[in-house]
Chains A and B, each alone.
Chain A
Amino acid sequence: MSIDRDLSASIAVTRFGLGAKPGEIAAARGDPAGYLRAQIRPAGADQPDGAFESAAQRIADLRQFQAIRREARQAQVQSGVPIDPKADAKDDPVKQARNLIRDDTGEEFLARMRLAATTDAGFRERWALFWFNHFTVSAVKLQTAVVVGPFEREAIRPRVFDRFENLLVASTMHPAMLLYLDQAQSVGPDSRVAGMGRAGAQGPKRLNGLNENLAREVMELHTLGVGSGYTQADVTEFARALTGWSIVGPNEHPYAAGKTPGEFVFRPGFHEPGARRILGKTYAEGGIEQAHAVLTDLARHPATARHIAVKLARHFVADDPPPALTARLEASFNASGGRLDALAATLIDSPEAWDPRQRKFKTPYEFLVSGYRAAGLAPGELKQVAPVLTGLGQKPFSAPSPKGWDETAGDWAAPDGIVKRMSWSEAFAQATAPVAGQPLELARNTLGARLSPAVATAIAHAESRPEAFSILLMSPEFQRR
């Protein structure tokens, strides 16, 4: 690396990491690349602090809640007493349960954000955030809202430095993904259950069909990428192969030996029998193994390596990433058999990733996290961050689609967003600006060699410490990484 060590330390902490805590840039200065490499570890990403339930537990709780609610409604209808929409939550067990469920999810998001704000391994956490977004599960409905947190903890965090293939399989099998992309109830048209449905003529309630949502998004978003050559027929065949990948229902026994409600289960009766032909290859009938084999091949497909390489380079370096960098990452993915620890090391060792130009504009989450890190603080309550993130267009756990949050400056640097960032910066600085010390010292700690003379001057001329901190937070070099 030919650029100077001070600038490299600043890049390591602010671009690869989540922004500098006081003293962090100084700690990285001795060996900036080594500082990052040391954060790669086989155990994967850190887990947020707190005793949170498993996805299975959350799904079981939710179903229980829904049953209580149904009963309560029926009782209400029978009693003839009109529903009072203003009734106090503390008198109503259904509302209490609903609030509990919502609070759990909120607590989990807060814990995740606190981890980001406090961790010494900012690169490791950013690496995990990249994969959460790659395998998006979004809180668009109550039943997925309760499992986004467990999905990240159970499927993603442990495997972010594992093989891509293992991460892909864990994500695809996870109950959260099966619910989010409607896989849990997808039934092969010629499966045993569909056949029973026809014979038994159970009316409109019988299950009899395919849902291709998960199959399509795995190909389009998680592996090959759109435009890489797969066809509608490939999607439909993959959807057939995936039939049977489901979740244990409440009080269910037949398939569920040793399983509890809410866990993954393979339902042979839902599975479409027969061989499948996908991307020119035939997959023999094999129950659960059939879709597994497809996933393995998708993970190893050259188009997947290219897709991941471009996304990584776009996330870490530039909206329009340098081709030399994507080529390097692609080669690493292919050569290592999709090893994500090797891929992370390749990224760190790529000179293009250390280009001093700041070409990434922070997303709202990154902006808030880096603000807390600059202040040496962590959010104490959800209400300090959730309404702000929602207003900035990045509602907690609620990416707008399976594609996840957008990554480019064009998406986030809208006029309204800039004004709202300014508004938050002022309020945050009012509440948190250090009561002692030199504002310029704080700026140097936060931006290192990135601090521009113009911003340094503006900070030096500020009329108060909060104003100085607001200027730092809104400076062009802090808004970017």
Chain B
Amino acid sequence: MTAQLPLDRRSALRAAAGLGLSLTFLGRQAFAASDEALSRRKLVVFVCRGAMDGLSVSPPVGDPDYAALRGEIAIASFGQPNGALPLDDTFGLHPKLATVHALALKGQARIAPAVATPDRARSHFEAQDVLESGTAAVYAESSGWLNRAMQAMGPARKVQALSVGGQAPLILRGAIQAASWSPGGYKDRDARLPAILADLYADDPLLGPALASGLQTEAMAKIATAAGGPAMAANGPQAPTTPPSGASPPQTPAGYQRAGQAAARDLGVTLAHFMTEPGGPQIAAVSLDGFDTHANQGGADGQLANRLAYMDAAIDGLSSGLGAEWRNTVVLVATEFGRTARINGTKGTDHGTGSTALVLGGGLKRGGIIGDWPTLQQARLFENRDTYPALDMRALFKGVLAEQMGVERRALDTTVFPGAATVEPVRGIV
């Protein structure tokens, strides 16, 4: 089979030839992968809401200032009981991130330890909007960068996207209707109703596409869950909080955590099955919340540790569920901002700036940390309180979209991340 260039790239080439531009000017990126390979490429973005504490996710236990700043919530150094899982001389991973660590040892996980969006307001909501819209300023866009990236991939590449959870996250909203799915779907009691409603919604720009997409996804879910995805607990991606419901949840805190982690793993497995079905989504977004740890954050165990264990279980389910396709997949884990370098008065941390992003995938290039480490010296702290934002989050996003999904530089600089032409993509990830 002869590999055909997608229309948009062909016309770009033709336009370039007409203008006398050389191919190298268009960038090597665009031709780094054949289209056959590109069509298998997958990207999953975990948005961790509430400001995930980078200094706990990838504790810099080798940084001389770390332990003193963190006090009783510091993660112990390498080799100590409940100590950090070593990555290099400076950084480890939180002890609950065992899956991520195992992947890192195989060169399939890397950290960006001092990354931030351009937003500095320390407001969860403003910063999440900036993170997901991919803009320099809040409310500049009402669509998400992942959706605009899909548009940039062009009509010739039929890319599908899926969000997991009852609500549609901003990161996937936009001109392309993304599917959304959460456990507990349509029972198919009366096959007439969907058809009647499809008629009534024919001219409804909101409900029409949403119903069509939802029904299609439900049909896929039947296959995905039948393909070995265990029955999923309701409310998968949310924190296993105490439900005021009549159901009979586990009775002990440890029971909640076990059930939560099992549900998280199932969520990852089911998502993997979705993505490996023929015509399944290449792009997915998952929201995790519960990271706003102002009080009693905990260290190797406790509040934050439980959320990280949940995330680790989801990554475990996803990476193992993808099987051979794991080598075609990149997972990005990002949060709206980090937390204060110092422990606060209530054994937690307040809103900060730089945090850690994780990049995982079976096809990653080996390498150290992504971006610079500004250290935790007092003079290097941002406004004398936060991890210094050494890397623009958009540089990471751009690099992943370019190398993993073949999105061209021009689109990245204009439509996907407007106003960010001067932000250089991170290179050498995939």
Instruction: Report which residue of B126, B186, B239 has the largest number of chain A beta carbons within 10 angstroms of its beta carbon.
Output: B186
Q: Within B184-213, which residues are at the interface with A (CB < 8 Å)?
A: 184-187, 189-190, 192-194, 196-197, 199-201, 204, 206-207, 209-213
Instruction: Kindly state whether residue B86 has any CB partner on chain A within 8 Å.
Output: no
A403/B125 in contact, CB under 8 A: yes
A416 to B199, CA, bound (A): 19
A412–B167 CA distance with the chains assembled, in angstroms: 6
Whether, in the assembled complex, B182 has its beta carbon less than 8 Å from a beta carbon of chain A, the answer is yes
Are the CB atoms of B126 and A141 closer together than 8 Å?
no
Establish whether residues B125 and A226, one from each chain, have CB atoms under 8 Å apart when the complex forms. Answer: yes
Interface check B29, CB cutoff 8 A = no
Question: What 0/1 readout, one digit per residue, does chain A (232-251) give for beta carbons within 8 Å of chain B?
Answer: 10010000000000000000
Min CB–CB distance A386 → chain B (angstroms): 4
- Give a binary string over B150-181; 1 marks a CB under 8 Å from any A CB, 0 the rest: 00000000000001011110100100010111
Contacts of B182 in A (CB 8 A): 391, 393, 416
Establish whether residues A417 and B243, one from each chain, have CB atoms under 8 Å apart when the complex forms.
no
B22 within 8 A of A: no
Q: Are B345 and A211 within 8 A (Cβ)?
A: yes
**A232 & B207 in contact (Cβ 8 Å cutoff):** no
Contact between B245 and A419, CB atoms less than 8 A apart: no
Contacts of B218 in A (CB 8 A): 419
Instruction: Tell whether, in the assembled complex, residue B244 and residue A397 are in contact, meaning their CB atoms are under 8 Å apart.
Output: yes
- Any B CB within 8 A of the CB of A458: yes
CB of A210 within 8 A of CB of B345, answer yes
In the complex, the answer to whether B122 meets A416 with C-beta atoms within 8 Å is no
Once bound together, how far apart are the Cα atoms of A251 and B386, in whole Å?
A: 38
Q: Does any Cβ of A come within 8 Å of B4's Cβ?
A: no
| Majority DSSP secondary structure for residues of B touching A | loop
The complex places the Cα of A89 from the Cα of B248 at a distance, in Å, of: 10
A220 within 8 A of B: yes
B186 and A106 contact, CB distance less than 8 A: no
Q: List B contacts of A186 (CB < 8 A).
A: 345-346
Binary contact track A195-218/B, C-beta < 8 Å → 1, others 0: 000000000100111111100100
**Cα of A142 to Cα of B249 in the assembled complex, Å:** 14
Chain B: interface size category: 35 or more
Is A378 close to B, CB under 8 A? no
* Nearest-neighbor residue (CB-CB) of B139 within chain A: A227
Complex Cα–Cα for A476 and B167 (A): 19
User: With an 8 A cutoff between CB atoms, is B121 at the interface?
Assistant: yes
Among the stretches A28-36, A277-285, A463-471, the one at the interface with B is: A463-471
Q: A85-B252, A470-B193 are in contact. Are A416 and B214 (CB under 8 A)?
A: yes
Q: Are B197 and A226 in contact (CB under 8 A)?
A: no
Instruction: Known contacts A85-B251, A391-B166; decide if A454 and B200 are in contact (CB<8 Å).
Output: yes
A-B contact count (CB 8 A): 238
Known interface pairs A85-B255, A211-B344; A413-B210 also in contact (CB < 8 Å): yes
Judging by beta carbons under 8 Å apart, are B242 and A139 in contact? yes
B124-165 residues at the A interface, CB under 8 angstroms: 124-126, 138, 142, 163, 165
A67 within 8 A of B: no
- Near B by CB (< 8 A), chain A positions 406-426 give 406, 409-420, 422-423, 425-426
Q: Is the CB of B345 within 8 A of A386?
A: no
Output the least CB separation between A178 and chain B (Å): 12
Q: Is A18 part of the contact surface with B, judged by Cβ < 8 Å?
A: no
Say if the beta carbon of A345 comes within 8 Å of chain B. no
| Contacting residues, chain B, for A470 (C-beta < 8 A) | 190, 193
**Per-residue B-contact encoding for A373-417, CB less than 8 Å = 1, 0 else:** 000000001110011001111111110111100100111111111
Query: B173 contacts which chain A residues (CB < 8 A)?
Result: 410
Q: By CB atoms of chain A within 10 A, which of B49, B181, B243 has the most?
A: B243
B167 & A406 in contact (Cβ 8 Å cutoff): yes
Residues of A within 8 A of B217 (CB): 415-416, 419
Pairwise interchain contact A400-B289, C-beta atoms closer than 8 A: yes
Q: Which one of B32-40, B290-298, B373-381 is at the interface?
A: B290-298
Q: Which residues of A contact B126 (CB under 8 A)?
A: 226-227
Residues 428-440 of A, flagged 1 when their CB comes within 8 A of B and 0 if not, give: 0010000000000
* B348 partner, pick from A211, A383, A397, A454, beta carbons under 8 A: A211
CB contact list, A270-311 vs B, under 8 A: none
- CA–CA, A60 and B379, complex, Å: 45
Q: How far is the CA of A325 from the CA of B190 in the complex (A)?
A: 43
Q: Is B226 an interface residue (CB 8 A)?
A: no
Q: Say how far A465's CB is from chain B's closest CB, in angstroms.
A: 13
A185, A397, A402 interface centre (most CB from chain B within 10 Å) = A185
In the complex, A194 Cα to B241 Cα: how many Å? 33
- Among residues of A, the one whose C-beta sits closest to the C-beta of B204 is A476
Q: Do the beta carbons of A415 and B179 come within 8 Å of each other?
A: yes
Of all chain B residues, the one with the shortest Cβ separation from A87 is B251
The residues of A that contact B206 with a CB separation of less than 8 Å are 361, 409, 413
Q: Determine which residue in B142, B184, B215, B289 has the highest number of CB atoms from chain A within 10 A of its CB, and name it.
A: B184
Report A53 CB to chain B, min CB distance, Å: 15
Instruction: Give 1 or 0 for each of A350-382: 1 = CB within 8 Å of chain B CB.
Output: 000000000001000000000000000000011
- CB of B50 closer than 8 Å to a CB of A: yes
A419 and B215 within 8 A (CB): yes
Question: CB of B247 within 8 A of chain A?
Answer: yes
State whether A185 touches B295 (Cβ < 8 A): yes
User: Are A141 and B179 in contact (CB-based, < 8 A)?
Assistant: no
Chain B nearest CB: distance from A456 CB in Å?
11
Find chain B residues with CB under 8 A from A383 CB: 245-247
Are B245 and A420 in contact, with the CB atoms below 8 A?
Answer: no
Could you tell me the distance in whole angstroms from the C-beta of A360 to the nearest C-beta in chain B? Answer: 11
Could you say which of B166, B187, B241, B246 contacts A106, with CB atoms under 8 Å apart? B246
Let me know if A313 is at the binding interface, CB within 8 A.
Answer: no
| Chain B contacts to A: CB under 8 angstroms | 49-50, 71-72, 121-126, 138, 142, 163, 165-168, 170, 173, 177, 179-187, 189-190, 192-194, 196-197, 199-201, 204, 206-207, 209-215, 217-218, 234-235, 238-239, 241-247, 250-252, 255, 289-290, 292, 294-295, 343-346, 348, 350-351, 383
Query: What are the 9 tightest A-B residue pairs by CB atom distance, in nearest-first order?
Result: A209-B345, A393-B166, A415-B214, A383-B246, A419-B214, A414-B168, A415-B213, A106-B244, A414-B180
Sample of 11 A–B contacts (CB below 8 Å): A105-B244, A181-B294, A185-B295, A390-B245, A393-B166, A413-B207, A415-B177, A415-B210, A420-B184, A422-B193, A470-B193
Q: Which residues of A contact B (CB under 8 A)?
A: 83, 85, 89, 92, 95, 98, 102, 105-106, 109, 139-142, 145, 181-182, 185-187, 189, 194, 204, 207-213, 216, 220-221, 226-227, 232, 235, 361, 381-383, 386-387, 390-398, 400-403, 406, 409-420, 422-423, 425-427, 430, 454-455, 458, 462-463, 467, 470-471, 474-476, 479
